[in-house]
Structure 1
Amino acid sequence: MSQHTVLFELGCEELPPKSLKNLRDALKAETVKGLKDAGLAFDEILAYAAPRRLALKIVGVDAAQADTQKRFDGPALQAAYDAEGKPTKALEGFMRGQGITADQVSTFQAGKVEKVCYLKDVKGQSLDALLPQILQAALDNLPIAKRMRSAASRTEFVRPVKWVLLLKDDQVIEASIQDHQASNISYGHRFHAPQAITLAHANDYLDVLRQAKVIADFAERQAIIDEQVKTLADEVNAIAIVPADLRDEVTALVEWPVALRASFEERFLAVPQEALITTMQDNQKYFCLINQDNKLQPYFITVSNIESKDPSQIIEGNEKVVRPRLSDAEFFYLQDQKQPLASRKEKLANMVFQAQLGTLWDKSSRIAKLAVALSAVTGAQAADAEKAALLAKCDLTSELVGEFPELQGIAGTYYARLEGENHEVAEALGEQYLPKFAGDVLPQTKTGTTLALADRLDTLVGIFGIGQAPTGSKDPFALRRSAIGILRLVIENNLDISIEQLVDFALDAYAAVIPDHAKTRQDAVNFLEGRYRAKYEDQGVDVDVIQAVQALSPKSPLDFDKRVNAVNHFRNLAEAAALSAANKRVANILAKETAAQGEVVEANLVEDAEKALYAELQAIGPIVQPLLANKDYTAALSKLAALRAPIDAFFDSVMVMAEDPALKANRLSILSQIRSLFTSIADISVLQH
């Protein structure tokens, strides 16, 4: 069967830049699905996207579907013919329905019954007939939140469609897609080459458009931007800040990228650089430049969509546009300094945190009390922790945070430094919000760690205290994320404290505000313990490893973490599978015995295998116990792995449920010791192998 190269291009008004990459990928995925469902084989599909176009190049696609046979089932063979071999009324009705004669009837085996059938040859449809339907269905299934209609057309799309190109090699495929008749005509850059372009062959697409000042390949365009940005940054010994989302958005905004470096007055560098970077990235789509010490430099890079004869005019225009934004940030920053941070508590007293839990100042007061209690665990200075807590939310009332909400905490840190607060207190104001997301950095100061813990605990315990725990779909206070943050802060800072103690500290700060402390404690502890699974699954730990530790219900997150790491290490040992199975067998045997297991009586050890196992238990106990006391569970489990051979030998040659009660009791006592040793760490019987 012959194969072809197909080119499809949908030309539009400027597509939404934040969605362009997703639209490209979804169009490719939906077309792949459509071709496979239609039984059309192909070698590969290349997907392209630029501001005014989505395109696909389908390489090595079959010219048509393969011819097939379709089977139509009739009555059972026995019921199809009479004793003389003539068609019965049942068979005649079947033949009439299919429009066939007796010589076209076949048979097939359906289980134990042989039936008659008609095998109809079905000729495969051509690529030309199938492709327009496949492409239209793909466009209809794109993930578009809001579709629009343009002019008199009833067909909807994310932006008005201007042209449709559909070529099979050098031939136009007759089709109407999005109410536009397909042709071999495309259009170049809106300003540099706006005239129509006729494509002679599907393979010419990228080169012809490049000549018309359009880089249609998203990845190629992005690589050009990367190279230009780096060159411009290197010229001033700087490093460009290129967030992935902004990089994709800028790539989606231009067809012919031309990066230009502009500058701003150095006096603006006195403003918190986070504010300057935020306004330049979010509002202007600029790439900011920093030096080796991460300090903002007085430059930015803009990516233009035209190749200007006088680039300086574009540079000056961008500098003129950014100046008022930087001036606003400077104005807010200077205005805020006229009022000490601590004096802003009066405004906090008028800002509601949660109707039943009081104002933001109430919350700050509770966090201060909680932070003082936690400082004994975190190692922070109680005075620093209390002061940082009372200042923590003050910057929420500042002009700078009002304009740039993402600077909460960061603005507070700048103002605290200006007012002469010590390093721990100032840094803690920004660090209280860390970690902000999974995998984010943690606070670097002890006071910051204390404040981050106190803030999350206050919110979590308070919301549970008023009966507004998260539901399946609703979690308005992001308590699930907060809970993971609490676990990380405790574990990664090696804080040896139980979840219940943490919750009790928060309850003490709430006092009578929360009416039922007992229920709140239970609910909050259960919720935090329930987040272990999500936390460790995100790290790639298998569910059975987590369950092996959860079976013991460790009280401390740090202890839980050490056990999970130990079991995760243990399961990769050669002995793990056999020991897990042996533990399961031991657990099942002991579960059926109601009598308490006593001490092992050496005189009742009669078999060599049970003597050897008991001797090994006696030898390993003194080695493992100090490791358990030091919570070195990984080393302890590695030592216990030596029990594999004697346990296997014991089960191979010793009858545990002996008729002699003394022997049976003694052997159960040995099993009890084994079980006790392993469950000092985790229930490895639940491990799957």
Structure 2
Amino acid sequence: MKTNDLLIELGTEELPPKALKSLSEAFTQAWIQQLEQARLSAERVQSFASPRRLAVLIEGVQTAQADEVVEKRGPAVQAAFDADGKPTKAALGWARGLGIDISEAQRLSTDKGEWLLHEAKVPGKSLTDLLQGMLDASVKQIPVPKAMRWGSGDYQFIRPLHRLTVLLGQEIIPATLFGVQSSNKVTGHRFHHPTDVTLSHAKDYAQALRDAYVIADFAERKAMIEQSVVNLAESENGIPVWDDALVEEVASLVEYPVALVAGFDEAFLSVPKEALIYTMKDDQRYFPLVDTQNNLLPRFIFISNIQSLDPVQVVSGNEKVIRPRLADAQFFFETDKKQTLASRIAKLDSVLFQKELGSTGDKARRIATNARKIAELLGVDASAAERAGLLAKADLVSNMVMEFPEVQGIMGMHYARHDGEPEVVAQAIEAHYRPRFAGDELPVSSEGCAVALADKLDTLVGIFAIGQTPKGDRDPFGLRRAAIGMLRILVEKELPLDLNKLVEIAVASYGEIVKSPELVQTQVVDFLLGRFRPWYQDQHIPVDVIQAVLARRPTVALDFDRRVKAVAEFRAHPQSEALAAANKRVSNILAKADTVNHQINESLLQEDAEHALFKGLTGIEAQVEDATNEGDYQAAMEALATLREPIDAFFENVMVNADDDAVRNNRLAMLHALRNQFLRIADISLLQN
């Protein structure tokens, strides 16, 4: 089968930088899907994306479909011919519809009889004939959250299309998209190569653009940025402050990355570094530099989209841009310091938290009360937790946070330190938002954990109380994130707190606002327990393991975690499948029993298998009880696993429903005792294995 290289490029106006990577991935995946649907194989599909283009290069693609043989089954032979062997109307109509004579029909024998059959050869279509449909379908698969219109037509796409490049080897394949005709031309760099680039072959795409100052491969461009930033940072004896999202965004803004280093006045270093870093990273897409002690340096790296003949001017321009932003941050910080955090609390009463739940001031007072109670449960500094809870939201009305909302909590910490608040209070103020996102760090101190839990609980209980629970993908108050954050704190910080008690504290703090306290209590606890499932699934723990523990509804998150890990370990045990099946059998037997005694009468045991199971059960009972009381569920499961052989022997040799009522009830009592030992940890009858 003949193959060639196929290039498709959509040349557009500047694409949204935060979406460029996902747009490229969607476009590439759409073409892979189109090739599969068209029955066209390819050696490799390579994606390209830059601010003004989305492209795929499909190497070694079949230039035509293989011919296909399609079976057309007709009527049964019995119905196709009459008693004289002449074809019936049904047979003749079938043959006529296929354009064949009835004599050309073959026979298909099956276990249900014999049928007429015609094998029709369908010639494969050429890639050239298929391409327009494939192009249209692939573009429709690109997720466009907000489409644009342009010109006088009705065309809609994420950005206006200016060029369409479609090349199969050296041949331009005729195609049209949004009124643009295909060609073999692509657009070079806007400044370094403003004229079109004519491609002689699809495989020349990347190099031809490179010669025109465009690094079309997104991954290559991103790697270039990372390496150049690291190299420049080393030359400045600094370490770049970055994250993958920032590098990807910068890579989506430039086609020919050139890294340069610039600086700012050291006087700005009097401002907390977090505010300066935010300004440089989020406002300007710069890479700040810190030293080995994580102190901010008065230097930063930026990525230019041109290879300037006078880079000093480019550096100077960027320094001029950042200076007023840093000056604003300095002004806000110095102005804010003139007023204490505590004096700002009154202003929170004019900031709405939620119209039915009151102001942010009300919330701050509830957080303070609840943080104190949680700290008391933990046996840590309750006064510090209460103070931090009261001050936690005060920086929301500061000039700095109103200008840079992302530094809330962080500025509260710095202002608390400036006001002379204890360090434990200052740190807890910053920590109460943690974890802000998946993988974020948790509060360091127990007091910080108490305030963070109090804040998240207050939101959960309040929003549930007014019936604004998450529905589908909608979660405007971030309740799922808050719940996962709570569970992470409780589990990873090993805090032995009961969810029932925590929710009870938060419900009580709302007073009469919560109209149905018991209902809200149950709903919030159930919601928190329900968050364990997606959290553990992200850790690749099987769903049946989570369900087995959920069936027991342990409400101490740390205890829940230990059970899940023990059951997950047990599930991999070679004896788990048999024990899970036995538990399911025991559960079914007990469910059908009218009454079950809770006491086993050893004198009523008759069979050897009964005695063996009783001995095994009583032999591990104390061990299981001690292990579960200590939270060592893995040891408890290992002890229970030793019962596999006596359980198997019991079911093989003992008739549970004996004729003698006393014997039958005694056997049921033993199964009840067996079931209860396993239920100390989880309902392993739910394990699928």
TM-score, length of structure 2 as denominator length: 0.94
**CA distances 1:192-244 after superposition (whole Å, capped 9, x unpaired):** 12223222222222222222212111111111111111100001121112221
Of residues 311-320 and 354-363 in structure 1, the stretch that sits farther from structure 2 once superposed is 354-363
Match of 2:591 in 1: 591
Equivalence map 1:434-513=2 (5 Å): 434-513=434-513
Match of 2:193 in 1: 193
2:626 aligned with 1:626: yes
Q: Structure 1 segments of 4 or more deviating over 6 A?
A: none
**CA distances 1:597-632 after superposition (whole Å, capped 9, x unpaired):** 253333333433322322223322232322222222
Counterpart of 2:528, as a letter, is L
Aligned 8 A contact 1:388 1:451 in 2: yes
Aligned 8 A contact 2:598 2:673 in 1: no
Aligned pair in 2 of structure 1 residues 501, 318: CA closer, same or farther (>3 Å)? same
Match of 1:265 in 2: 265
**CA distances 1:646-671 after superposition (whole Å, capped 9, x unpaired):** 22222222333333444334333332
Equivalence map 1:256-655=2 (5 Å): 256-655=256-655
Aligned 8 A contact 1:379 1:446 in 2: no
Whole-angstrom distance in 1 between the partners of 2:476 and 2:155: 38
Counterpart of 1:291, as a letter, is D
Q: Secondary structure at the match of 1:182?
A: strand
Aligned 8 A contact 2:596 2:672 in 1: no
2:40 aligned with 1:40: yes
Match of 1:254 in 2: 254
Counterpart of 1:626, as a letter, is D
Aligned pair in 2 of structure 1 residues 562, 310: CA closer, same or farther (>3 Å)? same
Whole-angstrom distance in 1 between the partners of 2:422 and 2:544: 47
CA-CA distance at 1:61 after TM superposition:
1.3
Aligned pair in 2 of structure 1 residues 14, 497: CA closer, same or farther (>3 Å)? closer
Aligned 8 A contact 1:424 1:446 in 2: no
Match of 1:240 in 2: 240
**CA distances 1:162-191 after superposition (whole Å, capped 9, x unpaired):** 222222222222333442332222232222
Aligned pair in 2 of structure 1 residues 519, 52: CA closer, same or farther (>3 Å)? closer
Of residues 503-512 and 75-84 in structure 1, the stretch that sits farther from structure 2 once superposed is 75-84
Q: Secondary structure at the match of 1:18?
A: helix
Aligned pair in 2 of structure 1 residues 649, 105: CA closer, same or farther (>3 Å)? closer
Match of 1:221 in 2: 221
Counterpart of 2:645, as a letter, is A
Whole-angstrom distance in 1 between the partners of 2:605 and 2:81: 80
Whole-angstrom distance in 2 between the partners of 1:118 and 1:650: 61
Whole-angstrom distance in 1 between the partners of 2:190 and 2:598: 89
Aligned pair in 2 of structure 1 residues 632, 190: CA closer, same or farther (>3 Å)? same
**CA distances 1:16-40 after superposition (whole Å, capped 9, x unpaired):** 2222212221111111111221122
**CA distances 1:448-472 after superposition (whole Å, capped 9, x unpaired):** 1111111122222222333433334
Aligned 8 A contact 1:184 1:198 in 2: yes
CA-CA distance at 1:96 after TM superposition:
4.6
Counterpart of 1:22, as a letter, is S
Match of 1:132 in 2: 132
Aligned pair in 2 of structure 1 residues 519, 197: CA closer, same or farther (>3 Å)? closer
Whole-angstrom distance in 2 between the partners of 1:567 and 1:529: 17
Aligned 8 A contact 1:136 1:178 in 2: no
CA-CA distance at 1:252 after TM superposition:
1.5
Whole-angstrom distance in 1 between the partners of 2:214 and 2:336: 47
Q: Secondary structure at the match of 1:559?
A: helix
Of residues 268-277 and 73-82 in structure 1, the stretch that sits farther from structure 2 once superposed is 73-82
Counterpart of 2:332, as a letter, is F
2:680 aligned with 1:677: no
Q: Secondary structure at the match of 1:61?
A: strand
Whole-angstrom distance in 2 between the partners of 1:175 and 1:518: 65
- Number of residue-to-residue matches in the alignment: 689
Counterpart of 2:554, as a letter, is P
Counterpart of 1:437, as a letter, is F
Counterpart of 1:384, as a letter, is A
Q: Which runs of 5+ in 1 are unaligned?
A: none
Aligned 8 A contact 2:51 2:253 in 1: yes
CA-CA distance at 1:95 after TM superposition:
4.7
2:237 aligned with 1:231: no
Aligned pair in 2 of structure 1 residues 74, 56: CA closer, same or farther (>3 Å)? same
Match of 1:148 in 2: 148
TM-score, length of structure 1 as denominator length: 0.94
Whole-angstrom distance in 2 between the partners of 1:582 and 1:389: 51
Q: Which runs of 5+ in 2 are unaligned?
A: none
Whole-angstrom distance in 1 between the partners of 2:673 and 2:67: 71
Of residues 440-449 and 72-81 in structure 1, the stretch that sits farther from structure 2 once superposed is 72-81
CA-CA distance at 1:84 after TM superposition:
4.4
Counterpart of 1:297, as a letter, is L
Counterpart of 1:312, as a letter, is V
CA-CA distance at 1:433 after TM superposition:
0.7
CA root-mean-square deviation = 2.3
Aligned 8 A contact 2:172 2:184 in 1: yes
Whole-angstrom distance in 2 between the partners of 1:613 and 1:111: 52
Of residues 199-208 and 417-426 in structure 1, the stretch that sits farther from structure 2 once superposed is 199-208
Aligned pair in 2 of structure 1 residues 24, 664: CA closer, same or farther (>3 Å)? same
Whole-angstrom distance in 2 between the partners of 1:112 and 1:615: 59
Whole-angstrom distance in 1 between the partners of 2:91 and 2:501: 82
Counterpart of 1:353, as a letter, is F
CA-CA distance at 1:66 after TM superposition:
1.4
CA-CA distance at 1:246 after TM superposition:
1.5
Aligned pair in 2 of structure 1 residues 542, 347: CA closer, same or farther (>3 Å)? same
Aligned pair in 2 of structure 1 residues 314, 642: CA closer, same or farther (>3 Å)? same
Aligned pair in 2 of structure 1 residues 109, 558: CA closer, same or farther (>3 Å)? same
Whole-angstrom distance in 1 between the partners of 2:509 and 2:185: 72
CA-CA distance at 1:75 after TM superposition:
4.6
CA-CA distance at 1:153 after TM superposition:
4.6
Aligned pair in 2 of structure 1 residues 173, 465: CA closer, same or farther (>3 Å)? closer
Equivalence map 1:102-121=2 (5 Å): 102-108=102-108, 112=112, 114-116=114-116, 118-121=118-121
Of residues 610-619 and 629-638 in structure 1, the stretch that sits farther from structure 2 once superposed is 610-619
Whole-angstrom distance in 1 between the partners of 2:361 and 2:185: 65
Counterpart of 2:608, as a letter, is D
CA-CA distance at 1:247 after TM superposition:
0.9
Aligned 8 A contact 1:24 1:47 in 2: yes
Aligned 8 A contact 1:193 1:213 in 2: yes
Aligned pair in 2 of structure 1 residues 220, 341: CA closer, same or farther (>3 Å)? same
CA-CA distance at 1:398 after TM superposition:
0.4
Counterpart of 1:223, as a letter, is A
Match of 2:169 in 1: 169
Whole-angstrom distance in 1 between the partners of 2:151 and 2:472: 43
Q: Secondary structure at the match of 2:18?
A: coil
Of residues 238-247 and 481-490 in structure 1, the stretch that sits farther from structure 2 once superposed is 481-490
**CA distances 1:330-356 after superposition (whole Å, capped 9, x unpaired):** 111111111111111221122222222
Aligned 8 A contact 1:377 1:495 in 2: no
**CA distances 1:25-65 after superposition (whole Å, capped 9, x unpaired):** 11111111112211222221111112222222111111211
Counterpart of 1:53, as a letter, is R
CA-CA distance at 1:315 after TM superposition:
0.5
Aligned 8 A contact 1:49 1:217 in 2: yes
Of residues 214-223 and 604-613 in structure 1, the stretch that sits farther from structure 2 once superposed is 604-613
Counterpart of 1:672, as a letter, is H
Aligned pair in 2 of structure 1 residues 359, 235: CA closer, same or farther (>3 Å)? same
Of residues 308-317 and 655-664 in structure 1, the stretch that sits farther from structure 2 once superposed is 655-664
Aligned 8 A contact 1:457 1:506 in 2: yes
